[in-house]
Every structure is written in C-alpha cells, then in structure tokens.
Amino acid sequence: MLKLSVIVPFYNVRPHAPDALRSLRANARDDFEFILVDDCSTDGTADLLAAAERDLPGAVLVRHERNGGLATARNTGIDRARGEYLTFLDGDDWLAPGHYARLVAVIEELGCDFVRTDHVQCTARARTVHRVPHGRRNVPVRPRDAILPAHRTTSVDYAYAWAGIYHRRLVERGLLHFTDGLRTAEDRPWIWRLHREAESFAVSGLLGVFYRRGLPSSLTQIGDERQLDFIRAFDQVVEETAHDPEAAALLPKAVRTYCAIIAHHLGNLDRFEPPVARRLKTMSAAALHRLPQDVLDAALDAMDAGRAARLRRLRRRPLAALEGAA
C-alpha cells in the first residue's frame, strides 16, 4: 500500500495551479500519490494537469465530465485513493518543500485517527500564521472533547480539510467523505462528524500549507446562489448533532455557530446579487424556525446586542409567509 494519497481538486485556477504543482513536486516520494481532480475546468487548467500527469512523480489525473463542486471533487479523490493516509490541498494553494514527509512522520509517531495542523494565510503580500484553536499539542485526545465550550472558538470551527492528515480507517468507517454537491461550507458537517465519531486526534504546530485568501475567483468572494449552501450544511450539522448521545451538551455549540454564520451573511448583504440576498433572508428565517427554540433562545441571549437583534427580527417573520416565498 502507498503511504500517502494527496487529493487536489482544480477548477479554473490557471494563474495559481503552477505554484501548487511545483510544490507537489517538492513533496514527491516513491510511496506518495497525488490525485489531481479536474472539476471540468474551462480556463486552461486542464492543459496544465495533463502535463503534470506526465511529469509529476506519483500524479494520477481524474477528470469530471461536469462541474460538481469542491465536496464532490474531494470525494472523487477519496474513492481513488490507495494510501494508508490521506490529505488534501486546494488547487490555488501551495506547500513548503518536504511538508508531507514531516506530516506523515507526525501521525505515525502519535498513532491517532487524524492530526490537525496550523497554516499560513496569504492575502496579497501579507502572511499570517493561523493556529488550530486547541491548547494541547502533540498529545492524542478524544475529538469530541475538543468541540466545547460553546462560547469559545474550538477545533470544530477550524474546518480546513487541507490542514491535517487522516488515517485510512476513517474512510472505511464512512467518516471522511464530504456531503456531495455542497458548494460552500462543505467542511462544516465533515469536521463535526470527525469530532463526534472518530476515536482520537491530535494537533501539531507543523507549518507547511500556504492558503490563498481573498482571491476574486474564490467562492467566498462571490455573492451568488452557491453561497446559500451554508444553510444546508449547517442544517446537517444540527440534525446529526441532535441524534448524538450527548446532544444536550453539543447542540448549543452547533446552534451558536449557525447563528453567527447567518448573522455574518446578513451583515454583508450588499455583496450578494439582489435576488440571492432576498433568498438568503427568507432561507435564514426559515432555518431559525427549524432550530430547537429553547437552544436558539439561549444562543441569542449570549450574542452581542446588534447581531441578536438582527436575528430576532428575522425570526419574527411569519412561517407561512416564509413557506410561500421559498
């Protein structure tokens, strides 16, 4: 069996794909494979990947016949992976030389289901280190113990799939795949499921992933309908957490996070296309009605006054009117 499978989706990232591919070459090893998933690119990215399939040691090129989004592309890579361990990279990010060899050494030393790592965020020329919000380093712990407290940023809020490495047994247990078709927030149900159901994880301060932030082509910068998938993603988080044996303890964290994301989007309505902004408000109001109301009350009471007032106004919209507008 190969030691490591690296899953790299690409979609219309022609200006940045060469950096990603060069960094993969600087991480190549005989027992590593790089699964390059072309999610139906139309900007010349496909030509770069065809050349990489010939020239990059360990490269395996998979092409989608139609664009499926990041979650679906990652699932394609997971299904093709042959490694004992798996990790991810996005096609517009890049790596430090030798990062993957060090990452494999960390998880083998710790012997846990998955390891999460810090990363470097790159915005224009600025470089900022972002750390996993978990205090204990290089010590395996139960992942569900890192979900709480509800009022603080914790490991489930650090959802970047590429900031870590995952043992194949998580695939075999059905824990590593993403929700097919999600266009945004695809990593939220995924990280919550890992923390609820995996047996062990650890955090390492290893730095080696460079994440490009604020690209005009990034979905986080585009205010079209795909952004609304965050509602489906967090609905899934809440529903699955509600069936957990420790739901009473965990649901407040899930609901508070959901409310914070809704409030964030409502505070940035001007970046959405007008029809999408209207749908965002309607769908967000309906989502608030679906949440367990006692948990929602507590979450709103704990929020700052401005965001809480915004959500309470939305919550007062009649449910019948929401159903008619959907």
Give pLDDT tens digits for 145-202: 999 999 999 999 999 999 999 999 999 999 999 999 999 999 999 999 999 999 999 9
* pLDDT above 90 coverage of the chain, percent: 91
- Under 8 Å between Cβ of 192 and 240: yes
Beta carbons within 8 Å of 120's beta carbon, 6+ residues apart = 127, 128, 129, 130, 207, 209, 210, 211
Helix, strand or coil, per DSSP, at residue 187: helix
Q: 152: buried, middle or exposed (CB in 10 Å: 19+, 13-18, 0-12)?
A: exposed
**Class of the 2-215 domain?**
alpha beta
CA distances from 83 to 54, 165, 262 (A): 20, 11, 38
Tell me the pLDDT band of 25, cut-offs 50, 70 and 90: very high
pLDDT at position 318 is: 82
For residues 5-22, give the mean pLDDT. 98
Residue 297 token pair? 């009350």
Q: In this predicted model, what pLDDT tens digit does every residue of 276-289 receive, in sequence order?
A: 999 999 999 999 99
- Under 8 Å between Cβ of 279 and 228: yes
Question: Which residue, among 150, 236, 156, has the nearest Cα to 196 in the 3D structure?
Answer: 156
Q: Where does CATH 3.90.550.10 sit in the chain? A: 2-215
DSSP state of 135: S
Question: Which residue, among 56, 57, 45, has the nearest Cα to 10 in the 3D structure?
Answer: 45
Question: Which residue, among 211, 207, 225, 213, has the nearest Cα to 276 in the 3D structure?
Answer: 225
HSE of 206, CA atoms in CB hemisphere, 13 A: 26
Q: pTM (2 decimals)?
A: 0.93
For residues 85-114, give the mean pLDDT. 98
Q: Which amino acid is at 156?
A: V
Q: How far is CA 269 from the centre of its chain?
A: 23
CA dist 260 and 237 (Å) reads: 14
DSSP state of 145: G
Q: Is the pLDDT of residue 320 over 80?
A: no
Residue 192 token pair? 């919550």
Q: Is the pLDDT of residue 321 over 70?
A: no
HSE of 192, CA atoms in CB hemisphere, 13 A: 25
pLDDT at position 324 is: 47
CA distances from 129 to 123, 154, 190, 263, 288 (A): 11, 17, 23, 26, 34
Q: In this predicted model, what pLDDT tens digit does every residue of 213-256 receive, in sequence order?
A: 976 555 554 568 889 999 999 999 999 999 999 999 999 999 99
- Under 8 Å between Cβ of 190 and 167: no
